[in-house]
């Protein structure tokens, strides 16, 4: 397994999109470092829900302690020539057998899922995943935080055709979502995603990675 660094992440991502040849993937590098800090052991296979273009699944497979990653999303925006398996589904029922995966990841996705659909998604994940869920997402404390995060989503998602509409969660929301699905928050990590004026405008506390273990 290759160490996570700006260089190693760039090497993985630039194989699939020219964006990162001109814009270093600092955010993605910190995200992977955060996930690694809450990662527990080695997983044979991981389901990446809301895989988007598939490049983060590719990076996780290359740089985290996992043998294989399968990316799944409700639309096909996957880049070509990925080494990870990619799937598209109806957004309701994950097309896998019970306990098919050792773990799952959901990166910057839950805040885009309608509030009324989040419990069902978590239940489906619990059905097909026998181990932990790793989540990288956001935490909002105020209306100002919601405005900040909306701006960040626009900056990060528009270039890739990603979703913009969102309802961000407070820490209590995260605890309720986890508990309602039979999980507990076992570990968290908040890395240094931004520096200088950007860190003042968009505090790093808005970013968080979780590991959810079965309660």
> For residue range 117-158, what is the model confidence (pLDDT) as tens digits?
999 999 999 999 999 999 999 999 999 999 999 998 877 655
pTM recorded for the entire structure:
0.93
Residue 119 CB: number of other CB atoms within 10 A? 14
Average pLDDT over residues 181-205: 96
**Cα distance between residue 100 and residue 109, in whole Å:** 21
Q: Domains along the chain? A: 6-214 (3.40.50.150)
Bridge-based pairing state of the strands 43-49 and 66-73 = parallel
The tokens describing 67, both together, are 């043998």
Residue 127 backbone phi and psi in degrees, to 5: -65, -45
Average pLDDT over residues 58-69: 98
């Amino acid at each position: 397994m290759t160490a996570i660094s700006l260089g190693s992440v760039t090497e993985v991502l630039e194989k699939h999109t020219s964006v990162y040849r001109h814009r270093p993937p600092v955010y993605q590098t910190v995200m992977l470092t955060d996930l690694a800090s809450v990662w527990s052991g080695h997983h044979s296979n991981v389901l990446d829900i809301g895989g988007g273009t598939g490049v983060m699944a590719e990076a996780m497979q290359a740089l985290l302690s996992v043998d294989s990653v399968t990316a799944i999303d409700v639309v096909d925006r996957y880049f070509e020539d990925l080494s990870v398996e990619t799937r598209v589904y109806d957004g309701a029922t994950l097309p896998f057998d019970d306990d098919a995966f050792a773990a799952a990841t959901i990166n910057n996705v839950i805040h885009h899922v309608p509030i009324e659909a989040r419990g069902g998604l978590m239940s489906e994940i619990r059905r097909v995943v026998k181990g932990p869920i790793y989540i990288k997402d956001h935490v909002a404390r105020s209306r100002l935080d919601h405005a900040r995060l909306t701006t960040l989503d626009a900056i990060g998602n528009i270039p890739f055709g990603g979703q913009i509409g969102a309802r961000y969660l407070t820490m209590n929301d995260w605890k309720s979502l986890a508990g309602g699905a039979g999980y507990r928050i076992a570990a968290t990590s908040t890395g240094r995603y931004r520096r200088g004026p950007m860190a003042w405008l968009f505090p790093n506390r808005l970013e968080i990675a979780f590991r959810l273990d079965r309660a």
